Homo-oligomer: A and B are copies of this chain.
């Protein structure tokens, strides 16, 4: 493959601009928030002219949308990693992982859900990625329902409740609206359990003591 005599001399073509810009932007986002992302600054830091970025990102918003997509994908992966053997425990763990993701990456999480990027329909990939993360939660609930661990109510209702709970918890947590940010996991587990105990099927009610 082309051992050209002077392969390093010319850096006219960067060769990896999109990915490097993406990574650098992600780093800036994580550390300083989306507002701190400047295409000019990115270009300068990479060592390339500013308009070059427009060859790969039609927009600044487009770049942010890509970052949000990777965020949803990362969230999805972390949600997929939870052990699904015990349905009830899986639901709680999903909540814990979800909230811990938001706490680990508050700026990324805010970008994903801040409504700043996503007029919902402008960036199809973003919608797909978001749906992908959501799907894990829904599948887990459906599984728990099938196993009889959750009331057989409307799946969409149950999912909306669960997602709202962990999402709201995440948002309030990273915004500092909750007291005792230290004992966070305990709070999360307590809150999720609270919802769960209200969703336990009648015939499993007597089992409640075995889990705690």
Contact = CB atoms under 8 A, between A and B. Distances in A.
Interface in A137-167: 153-154, 156-158, 160-161, 163-167
A143 to B, nearest CB: 18
Residue of A35, A163, A166 most packed against chain B (CB within 10 A): A163
A203 B182 CA distance: 34
Interface residues of A, number: 45
B175 A120 contact: yes
A168 interface: yes
B116 A115 contact: no
A167 B172 CA distance: 8
A contacts with B: majority SS: helix
A169 interface: yes
A77 interface: no
B195 A172 contact: no
Interface in A109-138: 110, 113-116, 118, 120, 130, 134
B179 A156 contact: yes
Nearest to A119: B176
Interface of A: 35, 106, 110, 113-116, 118, 120, 130, 134, 153-154, 156-158, 160-161, 163-172, 174-180, 187, 190-191, 194-200
